[in-house]
Structures are given as structure tokens and as C-alpha cells.
Structure 1
Amino acid sequence: MNTNKSVLVTGGTGNIGSAIVAELLAQGYQVKVLCKDATSAQKAQDMGAVAVAGSLTEPQRWLEALTACEAMIHTACTFDEQMGAIDTALMQAVAGHASGRAAPLVLVYTAGCWAYGSHDEVITETTPKHSVADFQWMLDNIAWLSGKENIDLRVVSPANVVREEEHYLPPILSWELERCGHPVLPADEAQTWPLVERKNLAELYRLVLERGRQGEEYIGSAEHRAPLARLLRQLSEQPIECAQAAQWAEIYGTWTEGYALQQVFSSDKAIRELGWQPKLFLNLD
């Protein structure tokens, strides 16, 4: 894909999406960002993108903005009880709109590591998926989109996404540290999570846009076995409270079941086929 082409990004002012927007703009892309309110619109404009007024729940109001775009990168999610139904309706609207295009719409769809469930072996793109129930809709929508004409579907499955500015600590661990006043883990102190820094992940999205193959999925994981207890001890000397998965589900929702999964990922496919370079960032020795 030529870098003078136009891309629409959903969730473009969020954690992952804003990094993608910055990456695309730096590479010369014309970027449109779906914005649900004036605050999001200002953020998009401050980044140098074009703000498109609209929401995930009313795609008919903004789909025309997609007409002049060669691609759409979808990172947004409402994270409420209706998130699956909203995403399904949105993808149906996007596919319907794309059916009248002269050329296929490149659609980079965001799945996630929790769609795989727990595995004892290293997870690759060919590993069977056993999704956390709250996110099964991602797999259903991918399967549905795969059969649609004029949709060039490519899937990115990120590990748990962290920010350099937040000491690479997964957000929920920061929330719990603030809420409880001491570190908290869903399982035990030996637990590890696969992590990827959001700017590094944004590079993967761009490469999938430029070099990805239709119908293919690419896992984005850098620190495959990040030791959570050691991460937390860099920020707090308080004892770590463990086995809090059930409480997390009560406080934040059942979607947090994903944090209790046993997972180690491989990003060899993205490295081999796209030239992505996962960046290690933990120095805990």
C-alpha cells in the first residue's frame, strides 16, 4: 500500500489506536479518526488526523467517509454488555458499504490473545482457539467477514498492551494498585503475561496494512513471559495479594477472566512474513 493512501481508524484516540495514528502519520498516510465527541475530535486534530464525527452504534452516519479510504483499521470496542452485538452490527454495515466499492476495502481487524484461551504449549496463529466467553464475538465476526466479497480482511491479535510511560505495567494492575494500596494479582506470584508495548504494536499494524496477506492473522507479542510480580515490585514494596480473579470479575466484569489464562505466544509469523521487530523492554535482573 502506498503511503499517500487514506486510512480510517476506529478507536484512534485510545491507547492502541492513538499509537497507530501516530505511526501512520509519521509514514505519510492520510488518516481519518472516528470520533464520538468534541474531545476526541480535538485529540485527533491535535495529532494531525482528520476527525470524522460518529459512533460505533450509528455507522450509517459516517460510513460515507470510508468511501475515499483504501483501508480501515478497527481497534475500537465499547467494553460493555452490548459490545459483541455492536461490533457485529458495525461489521455488517462496513461490509455492506464495501460491496459497492470499485476495489476491495482492506480491513485490519483487532482480535486478541484471550481468543485463544489457555494452552500449555507456545501459541501460534494455527493454535486452536477457545475464547473467553465475553470475546467469542470477535471470532464469530472474523469468520463472517472472511466470506465477504470486496473485503480484504487481515487480523492482528495483540498480547496485553502496555505503555512505556506507565512503566510497562498492564493497566488493570495499576488500577488495582491504586484501588487497594498494594499490589494484586489474579492468580499467584509465578504468573506471567505476554506483553507488547503499544508503539511497537502500532508498527505491526502498519506492516499488516502494507504487507499483510488477505485472510491472514498476525500475533503481536514481544515480552512473551513477563513476570508480573517482579514488575509490581518495581513500583511497590507492599506484599502482593494473590488469587483475586473472582473479585476482578465482580468489580470489572467477567471479561477479566482473560487475565487468569496461561499463555505464551510466538510472533515468528509477523517477524518472518512482515519484517516486524518485537522490542524487548523489561530489564528486571
Structure 2
Amino acid sequence: MSISHSVFVTGGTGNIGSAIVQELIAHSYQVKGLCKTAQSAHKATQLGATAVMGSLCEPQSWLSTLADCRAIIHTACTFDAQMGETDAALMRAIADQAMTRSTPLIVIYTAGCWTYGSHDAVITETTPKYSVADFRWMLDNQAWLRDKENIDLRVVSPANVVREEEHYLPPILSWELQRCGHPVLPQGEAQTWSLVERKNLAELYRLVLERGKSGEEYIGSAEHRAPLASLLRQLSEQPIECGQAALWAEQYGSWTEGYALQQVFSSEKAMRELGWQPRLFLPPSV
């Protein structure tokens, strides 16, 4: 297998990463996945990837495996108090490793829709970013990496990612339904989120790898105004409890302030430049 078809994926057994691994393998790529545990390594192998043992916190133990890879797709995050610092150290290590290469390393960096903050207008890649505090580091680390020699940086910014197997309900709404016994929303029943199904999103990552341009960002959103109350009513007849954003912060952490943002995303750039096709999954009645 040539280097042009070898890709390294962090978070390759996670929600987004596992779909990316399957998408790449289905298109004849050789995939290596970073695995912290034996359980993760087993899952990576089952997906068809080569498991590379290591962690985000100690990249020096596995960075040499990037030497025969065309790209690294970065979807992993430690989601702890040091997640920004860990990511920054990883980007520095990747940049150092890239200097030893004869060809640029493609780095596909996963940003979050919450890095944009709230906006009244539809959000595109040119919209100013007013990130929630907990994820400001995503913007800082991208900016640092963007002008590094021998790095071909491309950014994917997914909307809220859902799974077909979970009735397209955003995970935190499922968690709250189980925890409270009734549906819960951070704001009111009219609230909408932009959503994208993870396998459809994986197609976007592959297209960014194959057709994306250096330094460019691509938003991945399919259902731009998904009505959360309607999604919840498909799973529960109980009344919806609204205005729970503050309690979510206490229960899960301050990062959940992102769920209260006013956001509607557009994927016109990804469609126009890459040929990505967002797949709608909600019936017209929802």
C-alpha cells in the first residue's frame, strides 16, 4: 500500500472516528488507529484498522508511525481540565515530526461548532468566531499549526453529531431522558440544533482528505434546523422540561453552555467545493 493511501486516525474507535475508519477502509485506504487500551485496540482491529498503542498525552511513543502515512485525521480529545494543553503539545509534536518528511503531512483537524458562538444569521466558514470558553483552544491550536512548514492543515467543523442507531437524538438528550425519566431541553421547546449523522460526516472527512484545500475549513451540517422537541416526542410522551442549561452545567460541566447557543449552519462550501451530499434524515412532519 502506497503512502498516498495510508491514513492515521486519532479517536478512531470513538463515535466520529469509527465511522471515519469504516469510510476510509471502504474506499481502499490503509488505516492506523491510535489506541490507549487493549479494548480499544480490539475494536480498531475489528473495524479493519491497524491498532497503534499510545495516548494523546505521550505522542513521542507513536509519532514515528506517521512517517509512512499521507495524513492524520484528528478527532480525539481527552475532555479533561488539561484538554487544551494536551492538544497544543500534540500539535507541536506533529509539527516537529512533519519536518522530517519529504512531503507535507496532511492534518485534518476537528473543530467544534461551538467555536463559532451564537449568531442570528446562518453560519458559514467566514462567520466570525466567538467560541465558548472551554473550546477556545481549538481555535488557538489551529492558528498555531496553520503556518507551520510541511503541514497541510485542513479543518472540519461538524454540527452536533448523531447516530442513526439512536434515532438521531443528540447524546445529551438521551442521557437526560435516562437520568430524569422525562425529556429535558436547555432552553425552550422552539429550540433547534444543526445536526449531522456520523456516517454522512465520515464521507465529508474522506472528501476533505481527497479534495480539500490547504488552510481551508469545511462545515458539516445536514439538518440545519432540527426541532429538538419533535425529536424528543418521538421517544417520550412525557412533558418536556425546559430551561435546564444551568443544571446541565452543574451535572456535566461548563462546556455544556454550547447547547444553549443560537446556531444554524450551512454546508454550501463543502457541497460546492468537495461534492459532499448532506443526507437529510428527519421526516417532513418533524
Determine if the alignment matches structure 1 residue 34 to structure 2 residue 31: no
Residue 123 of structure 1 deviates from its aligned partner by 0.4
Deviation of the 1:147 alpha carbon: 1.1
Unaligned runs of 5+ in 1: none
1:4-153 mapped onto 2 (5 Å cutoff) = 5-153=5-153
Deviations 1:147-195 (A, max 9, x none): 1000000000000000000000000000000000000000000000000
For residue 68 of structure 2, give the secondary structure of its aligned residue in structure 1: coil
Q: For residues 236 and 59 of structure 1, do their structure 2 counterparts lie closer, same or farther at Cα, with a shift above 3 Å needed?
A: same
Q: Provide the rounded CA distance (Å) in 1 between the counterparts of 2:100 and 2:170.
A: 41
* SS of residue in 1 equivalent to 2:156: strand
Instruction: Write the distance in 2 (CA, Å) between the matches of 1:211 and 1:218.
Output: 11
1:16 deviates by 0.1
Structure 2 residue identity aligned to 1:178: Q
CA contact (8 A) 1:3 1:28 kept: no
Single out whichever of 153-162 and 79-88 deviates more from structure 2.
Answer: 79-88
Amino acid at match of 2:226: A
TM-score normalized by the length of structure 2: 0.98
Deviations 1:85-121 (A, max 9, x none): 1101111111111111100000000001100000000
- Kindly report which structure 2 residues correspond to 1:175-186, keeping only aligned pairs within 5 A, or say none: 175-186=175-186
- The equivalent residue for 2:247 is 247
Cα-Cα RMSD? 0.9
Deviation, 1:80, is 1.0
Q: How far off its partner does 1:4 sit?
A: 5.8
SS of equivalent to 1:67: helix
**Separation of aligned partners in 2, 1:104 and 1:200:** 27
2:218 counterpart residue number: 218
8 Å Cα contact 2:41/2:52 also seen in 1: yes
1:161 corresponds to: 161
2:205 maps to 205
Distance change >3 Å, CA 3–CA 100, structure 1 → 2: closer
CA distance in 2, matches of 1:99, 1:192: 44
Contact conserved, 1:157 with 1:219, CA < 8 A, in 2? Answer: yes
Aligned-pair CA distance for 1:63: 0.4
Identity %: 77
Amino acid at match of 2:189: E
Cα deviation digits, residues 2-34 of structure 1 (max 9, x gap): 896100000000000000000000000000000
Letter in 1 for 2:59: P
TM (norm. structure 1) is: 0.99
- Residue type at the aligned position of 1:47: L
Contact 1:4–1:28 at 8 Å: present in 2 too?
A: no
Match of 1:272 in 2: 272
Q: Which amino acid aligns with 2:10?
A: T
Gaps of 5+ in 2: none
Partners of 1:52 and 1:66 in 2: how far apart? 11
Alignment check: 8 A CA contact 1:12 1:18 kept = yes
Rounded Cα–Cα distance in structure 1 between residues aligned with 2:248 and 2:67: 42
Distance in 2 (CA, whole Å) between partners of 1:114 and 1:3 is 34
Contact 2:4 2:69 in 1 (8 A): no
Partners of 2:3 and 2:69 within 8 A in 1:
no
Judge conservation of contact 1:184–1:241 (CA < 8 Å) in 2.
yes
CA displacement at 1:284 relative to structure 2: 4.9
Contact 1:3 1:29 in 2 (8 A): no
Matched residue, 1:171: 171
What's the counterpart of residue 228 of structure 2?
Answer: 228
- For residues 40 and 71 of structure 1, what CA distance do their matches in structure 2 show? 21
Q: Using the alignment, how far apart are the partners of 1:250 and 1:156 within structure 2?
A: 29
CA distance in 2, matches of 1:75, 1:84: 14
